[in-house]
Amino acid sequence: MNSDILARLRVTPANPTRWIVVGQLLDAKNRRVLKHAHLLYDRDRILQVGTAAPETAMLSGQEAPDLTLLDSTAMPGLIEGHSHVFLAGAELSAEKRAEYQQQDPLTLYRKAEARLHPLARLGIIALRDGGDKDQVGLRLSKLTAAGECPPFTARVCSPGAGIHRLGRYGSFFGKPLEEHADIESCVRARVAEGADHIKIVPTGIINFAKGMVVAQPQFSVGEIQQFKQAAHAQQKHLMAHASGEVGVGYAIEGGVDTVEHGFFITDDQLARMRDQATAWVPTFAPVQEQLDHADTMGWTGETVDNLKKILENHARSLQKAIALGVNVLVGSDSGSCGVAHGTGLFHEMELLENAGMPTLDILCQATHGNNDVLTGKQPYGSLEKGLKPRFIVTRSNPLETVKNLGRERWVVFDGAAESSAAVSLENL
C-alpha cells in the first residue's frame, strides 16, 4: 500500500503533474484548515490548491485525481528555527562532544551535509542555523541555495560564525568581535562571507546548579543597537542568544529581531517584544534533555529541582507570550547536548504543546511563520500556488496533537516522494 501511495505522489516523465485529494489541508499562511482539499503540483511548483477540482488538470483531460486520501492531512514541510547543524546532536557525553568538535572542518562539513538528506525525508525541509566557527553552515547555505542538490536536501540558512566577546561564552560556535575594528566592520565581514543573518551572543548560558544565569551580559544595549543598525543596513535580521532577565532585557532594548532561548524572561519584557515585533524562539528542548537525563549528566537533587523550576517558569512565560500576542516561533536548538537533529524539532513541538501553545499555532509557526521571519521568505513553508512542492501527507492527524507527526508520514520534495519510516535516525 505504501509503495502504491508513494508511486502516485511522485512526479515522473510519464506523469509530469500530480493531482491529489486529502481529507484536510493546512493552510499555514492563513491559519486555517481546508476540508476535502485538492492539490495539483509538478516537479517545480504547486499549480493549484483549494477545495475545488483544479482547472489545469481538467483542461488537460485528466478526469480524476491520481490519489485520494480522505483519511489524511497534507501540510507544508517543517522548518527548524534554531539548529547547530555542525554539532553531534543527541550525544550526551561532554568528552565525546568535545572530541567530535575537534575534527577538521572538512570532516565536520561532510557529516553535516549528510544530515540534510534524512532531515528532508523526515519532512524538515529547511533549517536556520545558529552558527559555527568553521564555516560549515556557510558552505551548506551556498550549496543548498544553488538549487543543484539531489532531491531531499534540506535548505540551510546560516550566519557563519556567531559573534561573542573575546574570552566569553560562544567560542565553540563563534568568533570574537575583537577580530575586527568595530561592530560595523564585523557585520560587513560576516555578510561578505555569505551570512544569511547575523548571530550575536549577548549573554552566557544557564548555570543549572545555581538555577540562574550568573555571568553579566557580554554586550551593552548601545552595542546591540549598533549590531542591529549594521545588520539591517545589510538587509539581514539580527538573531540573539540571550537568557537571564538582565541579558534578555539588553537584547530587547537593543532591538534584536529574535530572542533565542529567553529563559527567565519577564512579563514586561514580553509586552515590549510584542510592541516592537521581536520574535521569540523559546527552545525548551535543551533544558528538558538535561532533566530527562539528569542521572547521566550527574545532576544533584537540588539541580534537578532547579531544572524543573526553570521549565515551569518558561512554560508560564510561553502562556503569557501567547496571551499577549508575541510572535512565538519554533526551534529546538538541535545539535546542543542531547537534542538530536530531526527528532529534536518534533520533541520541541511536543514540549510547546504540553506547555500550552495551541496545536494549530505550533504547526503554522513551524512552517509559514518560521519561513516568514527566520529563513527569508523562501519559496516554501506554505501550500500555495507558485511555491515549491515540499509537503507532508499523513494519516495520523497532526491537528489533534503534534505528537502524531512522530508517526509515519509521506514527504513530497520537488516531485520526489519518500516515507519517513525508511529514514535511519542513527547519525542525526
The tens digit of pLDDT for each residue in 202-221 reads: 999 999 999 999 999 999 99
pLDDT above 90: percentage of residues in the chain: 93
Alpha helices in 293-358 (DSSP H): 294-297, 301-324, 343-354
pLDDT on residue 279: 98
Cβ proximity of 346 and 298 under 8 Å: no
Cβ proximity of 345 and 366 under 8 Å: yes
- Taking all residues of the chain, what is their mean pLDDT, rounded to a whole number? 96
Residue that wins the pLDDT comparison between 379 and 3:
379
The tens digit of pLDDT for each residue in 24-78 reads: 999 999 999 999 999 999 999 999 999 999 887 666 788 899 999 999 999 999 9
Residues 6+ apart with CB under 8 A from 63: none
Cβ proximity of 39 and 55 under 8 Å: no
Q: Say which DSSP state 406 is in.
A: G
pLDDT on residue 60: 78
Q: Assess whether pLDDT exceeds 70 at residue 425.
A: yes
Instruction: Convert 369-381 to b/e letters by CB count within 10 Å (16 or more is b).
Output: bbbbbbbbebebb
For residue 1, name the pLDDT band (cuts at 50, 70, 90): low
* pTM for this model (two decimals): 0.96
Longest dimension (CA), the chain: 70
